Amino acid sequence: MTRKWTRGVLGAALCVAFSSAAGAQTCPLTQPMVVASGLNSPFRLVVDDQFVYYLGYPPKSPGVYRVDKDGGTPQLIVDGGADTNDSEMELAVDATSIYVMYPFFDQGSSGLGGGAILVYDKAGTLLRGVGSTPSIPGDCHQPSLTDFAVAPDGDIYWIQKDEPGIFGGPCEELAQSGIGRDPAGAASATLLLRTFGHASHIRADATHIFWDDAQRIERMQAGGGAVQELAVHVQPVVSLAIDPNYIYWSYYNDSTTQGTYQIVGVGQQVQVVPVGLFDLQTDGSYVYGNNPRTGTGAPFNVYRMKPNGHGLVNLAKGGGNGLAVDDTFVYYYNANRTAIMKWCKI
């Protein structure tokens, strides 16, 4: 019997007993499988019950694509067109919708300025758009978006950064960060928090939102409230992941200065491995991530480990820039990011 920290009660860390993790489905593969090939520098990876979704790299093939998990020809679902002018977009899916974040979106017909998150149905039909909001009413900054998360109830949360104005102009003051929310179906974006730090890596579950703010991992109750500091760090965070039991964050400066941490309670954290994992994913039983390789060959290793860091396994060599898991498989890019691969999680 093992004991884990439950995050469900704000301001307290509860230890609850749980049985061994449920086993994953039996994997039918004997070697990594190519899901899609002939890709042109894609990035990001997310999955639903049937498809793998990814972003095409602008200006070569901008847009949102999907391909059947069992393999096939990728299908363009959302045409990026002239709106995808950079490679800083983010992507998420749930059971009914596709969410695409444009950091510097500006399309007159939509009425949205600054950054925006566009919500599509699974056929690629635009349902609505959520625009960034000024940190101060009447502020002349143009906020851009840096990350977003979709909660289980469909609420959208995002991090925005006010772009500083021209030196000597009315918006000369330093940029600030903020966290915004758009309740599912409400189309009423509000700013929950202004921060003078550098907020990044936002995540959401049914009860809280989590983010990194310069040198602190923090959380807030879903919908707003007091900010609670969970952990302090001195290294820049490169990835953040949550599950019902723990919070994980990682840093990577170089091959000798890196690590992945587990937050086990308020103000309590432990380095579980001296390996900095990018694109962190967790299913509650295992933690997955990409780690830069040294030397020739593929630029990343795809790792799996237990929540406490034990049993670190190199599952595959890949190209980084995205990772996704479902009940049975881990999905990743091949070494030169021309193909999506899938391999057994366990």
Question: pLDDT-derived band of residue 105, with 50, 70 and 90 as boundaries?
Answer: low
260 in Cβ contact with 304 (< 8 Å)? no
Q: What pLDDT does residue 17 have?
A: 31
Q: DSSP letter for 113, please.
A: -
pLDDT greater than 80 at residue 129: yes
Give the dihedral sign, CA 264/268/274/279. positive
Q: What pLDDT does residue 163 have?
A: 61
Q: What pLDDT does residue 61 have?
A: 73
Q: What pLDDT does residue 294 have?
A: 86
* φ, ψ at 108 (rounded to 5°): -55, -35
Q: What pLDDT does residue 128 have?
A: 87
Which of 103-112, 183-192, 294-303 is predicted most confidently? 294-303
pLDDT greater than 90 at residue 284: yes
The arithmetic mean of pLDDT across residues 73-89, rounded, is 72
pLDDT greater than 80 at residue 145: yes
Q: Which residue has the higher pLDDT, 14 or 340?
A: 340
Residue of 4, 22, 7 whose CA lies nearest to 206: 7
Give the separation between CA 77 and CA 97, rounded to whole angstroms. Answer: 12
pLDDT greater than 70 at residue 10: no
Q: What pLDDT does residue 175 have?
A: 60
Listed by start position, the domains of the chain span: 1-30+235-346
Average pLDDT, the chain: 84
pLDDT greater than 80 at residue 280: yes
Percent of the chain with pLDDT strictly greater than 70: 79
Q: What pLDDT does residue 9 have?
A: 34
Question: pLDDT-derived band of residue 173, with 50, 70 and 90 as boundaries?
Answer: low
Q: What pLDDT does residue 139 have?
A: 53
Q: What pLDDT does residue 174 have?
A: 57
Residue of 282, 292, 299 whose CA lies nearest to 252: 292
Q: What pLDDT does residue 317 have?
A: 96
Angle at 204 between CA 86 and CA 230, to 5 degrees: 110
pLDDT greater than 80 at residue 83: no
Indicate left, alpha or beta for 245 from its phi (over 0: left) and psi (-120 to 50: alpha).
Answer: alpha
pLDDT greater than 90 at residue 278: yes
Burial class (CB in 10 A: 0-12, 13-18, 19+), 90: buried
Pick the CATH number of 1-30+235-346 from 3.40.50.150, 3.50.50.60, 2.120.10.30, 3.30.1200.10: 2.120.10.30
Give the separation between CA 107 and CA 96, rounded to whole angstroms. Answer: 25
Give the separation between CA 55 and CA 44, rounded to whole angstroms. Answer: 6
Q: What pLDDT does residue 140 have?
A: 55
pLDDT greater than 50 at residue 304: yes
Instruction: Characterize 308-320 residue by residue with b for buried, 16 or more Cβ atoms within 10 angstroms of its Cβ, and e for exposed.
Output: ebeebeebbbbbb
Q: What pLDDT does residue 108 have?
A: 38
